A = this chain, B = another copy of it.
């Protein structure tokens, strides 16, 4: 029934290749099917003004899509002169989500910036960005630990994200673009590896959903996050 032939509760194939660029303190290319996102972590000694002197660390994120990562070419945001509303929403979400998995005292007064750049898009880019972003973060933090710059690991648990939605009347896991563009309801679920929730966003455009449906999507999401967290740990082992 799904355009890809997948089962309702079946994720796309996931691969995470680490250390893909030579300059970044941590990096990976995450592929969820045909969605490919390059995630890099940049470590800096400075923190934003609002926490200067607090002893706390900061994790933030930026997101972008290459102009031809999509079916038809999108206008380059740098040329347009500003980041669109969707971009701003997504990068705020990535930063907020990753911070939920960080002990900012243990990190100490330093900043890690996660850049998520979509090389090829086929739905679910924000979830792939969070999942891959955590891998880049993990690798950068590992460097700090190895160098002895910090002693306690500030990463509590993997942070992973997956989309689910109602497609053709059925709850399905990990929407690809053909599903996403048809779905009446779609949601993004961001969790720790232990399935504690960080953020839930469910949204219907020109439609509604019941509390029962919401619970079915939650069940799918828990399955997906479990699989993703295993991939994250494997990639950074």
**A residues in contact (CB < 8 Å) with B:** 21-24, 27, 34, 38, 40, 42, 44, 62, 64, 66-73, 76-83, 85, 87-89, 92, 96, 99-100, 104, 113, 115, 117, 119-121, 187, 191-192, 195-211, 214, 218
| A102 nearest in chain B by CB position | B206
A-B CB contact pairs (8 Å), 19 listed: A22-B120, A23-B69, A23-B71, A27-B68, A62-B67, A67-B113, A77-B78, A78-B82, A78-B83, A81-B82, A85-B88, A100-B207, A104-B206, A187-B200, A191-B208, A197-B214, A198-B204, A199-B201, A200-B214
B202 touches A73 (CB 8 A): no
What residues of chain B lie closer than 8 Å to A187, measured between beta carbons?
200
Cβ contact within 8 Å between B206 and A99: yes
User: A88's closest neighbor in chain B, by CB?
Assistant: B85
| Closest chain B residue to A188, Cβ basis | B201
Q: Chain B's nearest CB lies how many Å from the CB of A179?
A: 17
B204 engages A201 (CB within 8 Å): no
Are A81 and B79 within 8 A (Cβ)? no
Please measure, in the bound complex, the distance between the C-alpha atom of A71 and the C-alpha atom of B43, giving whole angstroms: 12
A82 vs B34: C-alpha distance when bound (angstroms) = 30
Residues of B within 8 A of A72 (CB): 42
